[in-house]
């Protein structure tokens, strides 16, 4: 059992859970994830390890409640527990040894760039984080990223920071020059746009395909992607890949595979909650 040590709301549908998992906290590295199972019979969910505290023996999970299983998870309170957490899984981030690195986070993808920015800063590299959300209330982890370097905040509606998308802010940085590596994590259209934007500049670009993962073992085949013309599995070969080699068209199609099932599961969950309230 893994007790919940802290719960914090980061945005309207994004929740931070700090969970006891001492063995994982001791060895996890940026880019790795865990498989979480709330209880017997529950779905297995891959979640990035957003942070870890070795002394406290805890890991931080940042969860966007968009389906039944994630909604069940974020309803846990401090003192309650998650039955199973397996990990760390996936390949650690291949971090550059020098240069200026830009970390681009869209929405909950900001939680994935946080451990990368923290480790880059610890190693003494120059880090600029570009993060965004629909409006101010959707922007997360700004303070944590400011501890790692410069932060450019964007909001779609212009209510906070720079008006517009993170890709627009990235373009300005690219035109200014001096960028060696870009890490981008967020919605697939955003990662695709970032990868196409950096291509003519010859800037190495890494994207995380964690959003397509399902069971975390490669056995289900649900996270098959094409990278450089070859089939890869996001959970066992990634989750990070060279953005200039990813077939984003195929990736976008793959993301819709379970959409109907997910919508039905969420609808049944809401129906059960209404029935229980009566």
* Structural domains in the chain, sorted by start: 2-89 (2.40.30.10), 100-255 (3.40.50.80)
Q: Which of 167, 251, 239, 254 is nearest to 207 (CA)?
A: 239
Which pTM was predicted? Answer: 0.86
Q: What is the pLDDT along the chain (278 residues), one digit of tens a residue?
A: 899 999 999 999 899 999 999 999 999 999 999 999 998 888 888 999 999 999 999 999 999 988 888 888 999 999 999 999 998 999 999 999 999 999 999 888 999 999 999 999 999 999 999 999 889 999 999 999 999 999 999 998 888 999 999 999 999 999 998 999 999 999 899 999 999 999 999 999 999 998 777 767 777 777 788 899 999 988 888 899 999 999 988 887 776 655 554 555 555 555 445 445 44
Please report which residue ranges of the chain form alpha helices under DSSP H. 22-27, 68-74, 110-122, 142-146, 166-176, 188-198, 234-237, 248-255, 259-277
Q: Is the bond preceding 239 in cis, omega lying within 30 degrees of 0?
A: yes
Rounded Cα distance, 175 and 178, in Å: 9
Q: Side-chain half-sphere of 151: how many Cα atoms within 13 Å?
A: 23
Provide the 8-state DSSP code for 34.
E
Q: Give the bridge partners for 132, in sequence order.
A: 106, 154
Residue carrying structure tokens 């060279």: 242
């Amino acid at each position: 059992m893994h007790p919940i040590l802290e719960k914090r709301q980061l945005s309207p549908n994004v929740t931070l859970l700090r969970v006891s998992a001492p063995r994982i906290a001791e060895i996890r590295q940026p880019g790795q994830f865990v498989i979480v199972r709330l209880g017997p019979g529950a779905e297995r969910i891959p979640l990035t390890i957003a942070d870890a505290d070795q002394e406290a023996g805890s890991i931080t999970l940042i969860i966007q409640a968009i389906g039944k299983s994630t909604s069940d998870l974020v309803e846990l309170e401090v003192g309650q527990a998650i039955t199973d957490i397996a990990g760390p899984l996936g390949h650690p981030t291949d971090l550059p040894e020098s240069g200026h690195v830009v970390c681009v986070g869209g929405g909950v993808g900001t939680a994935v760039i946080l451990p990368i920015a923290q480790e880059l800063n610890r190693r003494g590299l120059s880090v600029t984080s570009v993060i965004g959300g629909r409006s101010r209330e959707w922007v997360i982890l700004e303070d944590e990223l400011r501890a790692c370097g410069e932060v450019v905040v964007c909001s779609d509606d212009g209510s906070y920071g720079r008006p517009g998308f993170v890709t627009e802010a990235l373009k300005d940085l690219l035109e200014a020059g001096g960028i060696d590596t870009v890490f981008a994590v967020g919605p697939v259209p955003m990662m695709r746009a970032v990868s196409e934007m950096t291509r003519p500049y010859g800037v190495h670009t890494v994207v995380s395909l964690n959003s397509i993962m399902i069971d975390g073992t490669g056995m289900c085949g649900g996270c098959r992607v094409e990278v450089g013309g070859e089939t890869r599995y996001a959970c066992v070969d990634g989750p990070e890949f060279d953005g200039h080699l990813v077939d984003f068209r195929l990736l976008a199609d793959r993301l819709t595979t379970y959409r109907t099932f997910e919508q039905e599961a969420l609808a049944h969950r809401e129906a059960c909650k209404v029935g229980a309230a009566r």
